[in-house]
Structure 1
Amino acid sequence: MTERPVLGVGLMSGTSLDGMDAALVRFDGPGRVTLLGFVTRPYDAEERAAIEAALGPTTARDLARLHARIGGWAVEVVQTLLGQEQVRPMDLGFIAFHGQTIWHEPPTVTWQLGEPALLAERFGVKVVSGFRGRDVAAGGQGAPLVPVADVLLFGAEHPRVLLNLGGMANLTFVPHREDDEGAFAFDTGPGMAVIDAIARLVQPGLPYDVEGRLAAAGAVNQAALAELLANPFFQLAPPKSTGRELFGAEFAARLHRQVPGPDGVATAAALTVSSIVSAIGRWVPQAREVVVSGGGVHHPVLMERLGR
């Protein structure tokens, strides 16, 4: 008997705080997945600032209001996607929504905002949420989540690393397409979060280090880089995960004070590259290929240095 195809929508809003992505996917059985459509709802400056404010001291009122706002943004992006692809809500098997992480402190807690009930009420379909909290409850890190898809979609005949350059950088090691038991994943440290935060300090109004121009214009401060790489997180063995609690606005502000101007952006980029290269060499030296994804692929300085 042939399995009936299932349509699902997955939502993603990560530590880069650049927007909310939605993908319409058809599942034709285990490992048989087809991407049918994709849209992004960018966060504007005010929305990004609201999320960043929630990462620090705030009030229950503001958190509750942001929880509802993020749920509303999720409704917007799903509505746009379904209209674009001319799919009816009743044709969906599910919507998957993990929310927006505002605090991540494994192994005890991870917290996401975004009311999933708004999606359920608007579209009348099953909504799956709370992935990260469930993983932490089961003894996991709650992050990264992308390795589940990496193993299913990108396994090869040889050992492969799937590197995601989001706000944080994480990698998945897949030894072989038929060896999901040997696969594992972890965060290597900051991806784009520190680079872009310092870029905004150097040039207020910039959304991020556009085309890597500030990093390219600066010089790496080797003394500062060595100090940053001494952070205990980089010495931890996998599984491990991190977030803006450690590599966020405060971290970026300290580096900006120590190394002002484009040199700070260049040093932040070097931190991302050095921590990734070290992690691969230390924990997955048998990898024969690295496949890179995420917003960081559009940063020429990062990609050039990773390719060396």
Structure 2
Amino acid sequence: MNDNASERPVESTVKHGNISTDGGHTNSDERYVVGLMAGTSLDGVDAACCRVVRESERPFGYDVTVESFVTTPYEDSIRERLVTLCDDDTGRIDEACRLNRALGLVCADAATEAIAAAGLDAAAVDAIASHGQTVWHIPDRERVDALDRSVRSTLQIGDGATIASETGIRTISDFRAADVAAGGHGAPLASFLDATLFAGEQARALQNIGGIGNCTFLPPNPDRDEIRAFDTGPGNMVIDAVVEILSDGERTYDEDGRQAARGTPSDELVDRMLDAPYFAEEPPKTTGRELFGHEYARDFIDAGRERGLSEADIVASATMLTARSIAQAYERFADPYPEEMLVSGGGAYNDTLLSYLRDELTCPVSPLDHGGIGPDNKEAALFALLGATRLDGVANTVPAATGADRPVVMGKVSQP
């Protein structure tokens, strides 16, 4: 994650929207919202201070401009605690409670830094919109009571009330819960931003490669119910964990894909790992660290060593796993097949991964670059958009992507 904060000052001629005491909203054509994203890579918090404008001529009625972008890396101790918390053998409820509050403070600091980098003060910002840190995700329905009711569930921590109190700015958080309550997975959510900014005459794929890979397929000029989005499987998560385990913690990712470039992927190993049921499941579908975390990475390394692979070969194979799982998902589920793929997330900086993707896919592959929105800041910008739509009372989900029964307005508001 890179700090791409803009030095350009922004004039704060903002028409502010406000939430009334009865829960209603007053609309605004222009807002400044700070979007916060903490991804499954567990490496820190991205903060994008964005100008969000209502534009009726755009496909979904909004435009988004990133005015500043900053990254606040987690301290090593916080990251280690999160890794422990996200393991079902070591996670503890008391630690989840402590980290919920601690991450709220980290998020508040990130938002404050992004506001300053945009040349604004707190009074000019309408809201902070925070995704929080996912610590557990259960996409399959589970029976919960004697009435045979079944539910999905997902949990993000990083207390919104703490962010609001620390910054003095109303904060919108816990976005995924409303979609889950409507029967959805609560993910992937990026399809709303993808359609807002990238729907057009071409068939496009927007592929995010964070810890988990997720895609949005946009047919030409789509309606909301024609958009398809889902998690393709591991993004950087398996690569990162393999590198961390092989290096005894000295490195947490393969910078620019250099170690993978020194190795040769094993097709036998990759194809064996692609036999996992998740890859063949029909969308909508989502996944996370529960399936592709450190335990999976340890199994991957053991299988590589059984085949006599070098460490570089194992990292190359983990990288190919991501590329081939994406390519197979496109072959199975993209209709129409995209005319181009735009890549965001940390994977857009892995040269070896991009090379593998270009070999595996039959459409051009390019890192995302659109009006100041690029690979690093796209997901933070997404939450700025989701925050603005929450204030406007506009449904901000794509049920065809999440599997929900209906579109809903996501986000819970905490006042300072």
In which range does the TM-score fall when normalised by the shorter chain?
A: over 0.9
* Higher Rg of the two aligned structures: 2
Aligned to 1:112: 156
Aligned to 1:183: 227
CA deviation after TM superposition for structure 1 residue 178, in Å: 5.0
CA deviation after TM superposition for structure 1 residue 272, in Å: 0.6
Q: Is structure 2 residue 250 aligned with structure 1 residue 213?
A: no
Q: 2:78 aligns with which of 47, 58, 70?
A: 47
Aligned to 2:121: 88
Letter of the structure 2 residue corresponding to residue 161 of structure 1: A
Aligned to 1:192: 236
Structure 1 stretches lacking a partner, 5+ long: none
Query: Which moves more between the two structures, 292-301 or 125-134?
Result: 125-134
Q: 1:307 aligns with which of 339, 353, 358?
A: 358
Tell me the distance in 2 between the aligned counterparts of 1:127 and 1:138. Answer: 22
Aligned to 2:112: 79
Structure having greater relative contact order (Cα 8 Å, sep ≥ 6): 2
Aligned to 1:288: 339
CA deviation after TM superposition for structure 1 residue 90, in Å: 2.0
Q: Is structure 2 residue 337 aligned with structure 1 residue 275?
A: no
Aligned to 1:258: 303
Deviations 1:30-89 (A, max 9, x none): 322221111111123322211111112232222111111111100110111122223121
SS at match of 2:201: coil
Tell me the distance in 2 between the aligned counterparts of 1:75 and 1:305. Answer: 38
Q: 1:17 aligns with which of 15, 26, 42?
A: 42
Letter of the structure 1 residue corresponding to residue 277 of structure 2: P
Does the 8 Å CA contact 1:225/1:271 hold for their aligned counterparts?
Answer: yes
Query: Which moves more between the two structures, 224-233 or 244-253?
Result: 224-233
CA deviation after TM superposition for structure 1 residue 130, in Å: 1.3
CA deviation after TM superposition for structure 1 residue 203, in Å: 1.6
Describe how 1:116-135 pairs up with structure 2 within 5 A. Answer: 116-135=160-179
Does the 8 Å CA contact 1:92/1:125 hold for their aligned counterparts?
Answer: yes
CA deviation after TM superposition for structure 1 residue 266, in Å: 1.2
CA deviation after TM superposition for structure 1 residue 223, in Å: 2.3
SS at match of 1:206: coil
CA deviation after TM superposition for structure 1 residue 285, in Å: 4.5
Q: Which segments of structure 1 move beyond 4 Å, counting only runs of 4 or more? A: none
Q: Which has the higher helix share?
A: 1
Percent identity over the alignment is 38
Q: Is structure 2 residue 201 aligned with structure 1 residue 157?
A: yes
SS at match of 1:139: coil
Letter of the structure 2 residue corresponding to residue 17 of structure 1: L
Does the 8 Å CA contact 2:122/2:169 hold for their aligned counterparts?
Answer: yes
CA-based RMSD of the aligned residues comes to: 1.6
Tell me the distance in 2 between the aligned counterparts of 1:58 and 1:180. Answer: 38
Aligned to 1:232: 277
Tell me the distance in 2 between the aligned counterparts of 1:210 and 1:20. Answer: 19
Does the 8 Å CA contact 1:11/1:96 hold for their aligned counterparts?
Answer: yes
Q: Is structure 2 residue 330 aligned with structure 1 residue 297?
A: no
Structure 2 stretches lacking a partner, 5+ long: 1-26, 55-60, 141-151, 306-310, 360-416
Tell me the distance in 2 between the aligned counterparts of 1:115 and 1:180. Answer: 31
CA deviation after TM superposition for structure 1 residue 222, in Å: 2.4
Letter of the structure 1 residue corresponding to residue 313 of structure 2: D
Letter of the structure 1 residue corresponding to residue 137 of structure 2: H
SS at match of 1:307: helix
Tell me the distance in 2 between the aligned counterparts of 1:90 and 1:99. Answer: 23
Tell me the distance in 2 between the aligned counterparts of 1:291 and 1:197. Answer: 25
How many residues align structurally? 307
Does the 8 Å CA contact 1:143/1:241 hold for their aligned counterparts?
Answer: yes
Does the 8 Å CA contact 1:102/1:113 hold for their aligned counterparts?
Answer: yes
Does the 8 Å CA contact 1:174/1:180 hold for their aligned counterparts?
Answer: no
Aligned to 2:20: none
